[in-house]
Structure 1
Amino acid sequence: MTTIKALLHGHDANSPAIGAPGRGWLSYGDLRALADKVAGQLHKAGVGRGDRVAIVLPNGPEMATAFVTVAQAATTAPLNPAYREDEYAFYLDDLKAKAIVLAEGYDGPALAAAHRAGLTVLRLASDPAQPAGSFDLRPEGGGGTCDTSEPQADDVALILHTSGTTSRPKIVPLLQTNVAASAGNIARSLDLTPADRCLNVMPLFHIHGLVAAVTASLSAGASIWCAPGFDALKFFGWLADAKPTWYTAVPTMHQAILSRAGRNKDIIEAARLRFLRSSSASLPAQVMKELEETFDAPVVEAYGMTEASHQMCCNPLPRGAQKPGSVGVEAGPLVRTAHEVEDRLVEGTGEVVISGPNVTPGYEGNPDANAKSFFEADGRRWFRTGDQGAFDEDGYLHLTGRLKEIINRGGEKVSPLEVDGVLMEHPAIAQCVTFALPHPKLGEEVAAAVVLREGMEATEREIRDFAAARVADFKVPRKVVILDEIPKGATGKLQRIGLAEKLGLVEGAA
């Protein structure tokens, strides 16, 4: 399978593909027909192969089917619906978008930015009485000529931006073959079959939801039930309604689900979850164990990133093959460790590098970033992930952390993930994130933000003493901030870089 269109073929036309709360199921036959209809509507609007189409839609079945269908005729560029007008203006210009898909009746900042850029506006009209994910595209203006041929394996299917924590976001083009290869890798890792159903709570402007939940499921002929975003209060109702065999989420979502599990035991017992999946950030070992005990199902932690079309490593099935604290074994591309400066592979701890058909050919319009991120060794082209880690004797990868997040305390290197793991052992701590605090003499000090379990108490001194009994002095957080909630990024990930500034800790760091 080398294109997204090829992924959809060969599955039973009557089998369910896309579902949603209160909606009928869209079958595989319906989905294939929708793709043909959308291609015709795009071509009529003057949009075709090679043209870039931004998609700004709320989470739900139409976002899933818009991505899958538009990608069979043009190049998709999903954008976060929470952006402001200037952010949309930047991304639409950076992407060189030709058109934008917006919901019928939408009159927000994305429309204003699209008008400023002179884009063709494609209105997505859906009827709640129709099967989930059904829609029509109605162009406002547009027309003209376009390439109406089908995208091929080496055409760009999906364009995403890196998060750009410290610099301008980089454009990541993912080819049809990249997305198809990754979907196949994930489906094989999870042993997906047409009998499986994913409950999707991940945002669908993000690679995790787009590829792991939606595209991997479709590659296996399985079904996806698309929730309108993540809501811990509604999750268990969705679990009862959707009857999924699995769901995938980031660690903060899993922790929010666990916080409400006690009052939903009946639903959990009735659920038929075959496994749970976690990705996009490190899952604390304690959370993996608590999830497995709560849901009586294996918890599969995977390791992914945008440049790899998501998955690189995955904890294998069956139950008992998972290692808490590890992101699993090689699961698709070749995964190795390399010297952090020199262009060579190394044994032991190093920068994690990958090579394979799911890896982007390179950042767009950014030769400097490509020169830093790619190198040749052992007859292959390797991509530097920016993560540090090492494989154990069983071939499981254990991450130390992002290289740029490793805390350099006067020359002593501290892994924030290691400190997280220690703090999560404290009985009163429900969530934590260790981060760098600027220091006038040492350069950086260790700090941590924690959220306490409901009904439990702990002081900063008690938490620091707890850590001091378990790690070397230089790893003990100098500052512990106890919060009701830790700030998160758009996809629910905890962000270490810049957290000291967000929490107002930089001024008094001396």
Structure 2
Amino acid sequence: MTQTETYPDLSRRLVAGAEDAPAILAPDRATLTHGELRSLIKATAERLHALGIGRGDRVAIVLPNGPEMATAFVAVAATASTAPLNPAYRADEFDFYLTDIGAKAILVAENETGPAVAVAERLGIGVLRLVVSPAAGSFTIEGAAIGPQATPDMAGDGDIALLLHTSGTTSRPKLVPLSHANIAASAAHIGATLGLTADDRCLNIMPLFHIHGLIAAVLSSLASGGSIYCTPGFNALRFFQWLGEARPSWYTAVPTMHQAILARAARNTEALAGARLRFIRSSSASLPAQVMAELEATFGCPVIESYGMTEAAHQMASNRLPPGLRKPGSVGAGAGPEVAVMAPDGRLLKAGETGEIVIRGPNVTAGYEKNPDANATAFAHGWFHTGDQGVLDGDGYLRVTGRLKEIINRGGEKISPLEVDDVLMDHPAVAQVVTFAMPHDRLGEEVAAAVVLREGTSATENDIRTYAATRLADFKVPRKVVILDEIPKGATGKLQRIGLAAKLGL
């Protein structure tokens, strides 16, 4: 196939809208159309090939959140393999990730001088600079050639499009390669679940070095012919302003972001009145049923909780839009891959039986890179093992009861921290809660909870424990409640359960 024959096919699969349909929008920027984005993909491919980068070569992208991060991911992935990295990493973190990925080049902002550049230069990795053009997401690439002219081929289905590391809360982060077939399948699954069309616009507040923002927000929107309004990152103070400017039909976020938005909703009644949201999506962490109800009452639209992870190119299960079923406390039914619950011996369990959640399907990675031990465990019995514990109901809807590593083992009694969270969230003074394991010299682990109180309310540790004792068996009641102004979060805004006892000095 010649170069000119391959460009249109690939770019139309990633960016499927009409030539003049809006694709990328951003605050104070001109709109980039689907046709212009396809042209950008072609120009980026030609530029990368001229610089010596082609199929199979790995390009780390270290850019701030915004339209260029979104388009650079799509455009570079069409030619090479992308590895978006958190710009806030320190030098030693860049050293680990760039080495582990095997990056041939790093793409940074035009004037970037931080640790990413210094580490890349020390490791002999080519530094390419992204120069912003006037339209949102439009750019050119500057830099010296990294090798001889590359063969002018575009990526194929089996080529790696995206490389991301797992969060590594309890161990060394694992490298997850996702093929073009994986990410295309996941984008299609999300589009089908949410009924996305060319008329839809997503307001993106998620970081674009994470699977949730990259696939659920960016790629599902572009692949369905719709548009995405790319913000500089989550900012609860500016959210309602963006809601008015972007006129989105939906947004997707993690629960802590939804809670921060709700905390400011009463002061933004005009923006709420003008909102035209068709639905709100939540993923990447468990959404308390209380927060779901408050979101639906505030925005007057359904809230769709979905279940995703990096190894599945994001979406695995999801609740459905009306008239489909939406169950608070459930992450929904399988939404793309097959979803089942498995016993430790590999038996698939029936509805109502608790076990490990397993999946298989076209969106699931073929395996971790350079990690045969992890693959032997994770892909046992012909399914991918998520590491999450859960139970399916009679409708095939899944309730996640916790990470297997996070289940609290109190002297042999197994306690789901999510169950305790759900009870404590019903306390009228509680805004946020994370239940976690605290070391205990006799029992091994004891139940503890970190709590943030609602503005203008008060409650003591004893008040909260007394309340829990009316709703939970005695062994599940937190022995320690820590009241905080803010609970520590990870880079994507998720509350951190593992390691919290050590962070809080317990």
> Shorter-chain-normalised TM-score: which range?
over 0.9
Does 1:113 pair with 2:119? yes
Structure 1 residue aligned with 2:4: none
Does 1:346 pair with 2:349? yes
1:291 and 1:488 map into 2 onto residues whose CA distance is 21
TM-score under structure 1 normalisation?
A: 0.96
Once the two structures are superposed, the pairs formed by residues 8-407 of structure 1 within 5 Å of their partners are 8=14, 10-127=16-133, 130-318=134-322, 321-339=325-343, 341-347=344-350, 348-376=353-381, 381-407=382-408
Contact 2:15 2:37 in 1 (8 A): no
Contact 2:52 2:145 in 1 (8 A): no
Match of 2:143, SS state, is strand
The root-mean-square deviation of aligned C-alpha atoms, in Å, is 1.1
Identity over aligned pairs, percent:
66
2:429 and 2:275 map into 1 onto residues whose CA distance is 29
Amino acid at match of 1:107: T
CA deviations 1:286-327 (Å, max 9, x no partner) are 000000000000000000000000000011001673111110
Contact 2:16 2:222 in 1 (8 A): no
Does 1:502 pair with 2:503? yes
Match of 1:384, SS state, is strand
Closer/same/farther in 2, CA of residues 231 and 9 from structure 1, 3 Å limit: closer
Structure 1 residue aligned with 2:470: 469
Q: Give the CA deviation at 1:213.
A: 0.1
Q: Give the CA deviation at 1:8.
A: 3.5
CA deviations 1:448-471 (Å, max 9, x no partner) are 000000000000000000000000
Query: Unpaired runs of 5+ in structure 1?
Result: 506-510
Contact 1:246 1:276 in 2 (8 A): yes
Closer/same/farther in 2, CA of residues 4 and 179 from structure 1, 3 Å limit: farther
Match of 1:346, SS state, is coil
Query: Unpaired runs of 5+ in structure 2?
Result: 1-8
Q: Give the CA deviation at 1:9.
A: 5.3
CA deviations 1:162-191 (Å, max 9, x no partner) are 011111110000000000000000000000
CA deviations 1:472-507 (Å, max 9, x no partner) are 0000000000000000000000010000011111xx
Match of 2:481, SS state, is strand
Mean Cα displacement is larger for which, 141-150 or 263-272?
141-150
Structure 1 residue aligned with 2:3: none
Contact 2:340 2:358 in 1 (8 A): yes
1:227 and 1:321 map into 2 onto residues whose CA distance is 31
1:326 and 1:148 map into 2 onto residues whose CA distance is 47
2:420 and 2:10 map into 1 onto residues whose CA distance is 41
Superposition misfits of 4+ residues, deviation over 4 angstroms: none
Contact 1:283 1:301 in 2 (8 A): yes
Match of 1:140, SS state, is coil
Contact 1:4 1:68 in 2 (8 A): no
Contact 2:338 2:359 in 1 (8 A): yes
Structure 1 residue aligned with 2:459: 458
1:435 and 1:447 map into 2 onto residues whose CA distance is 5
The alignment of Structure 1 onto Structure 2 pairs a total of residues equal to 496
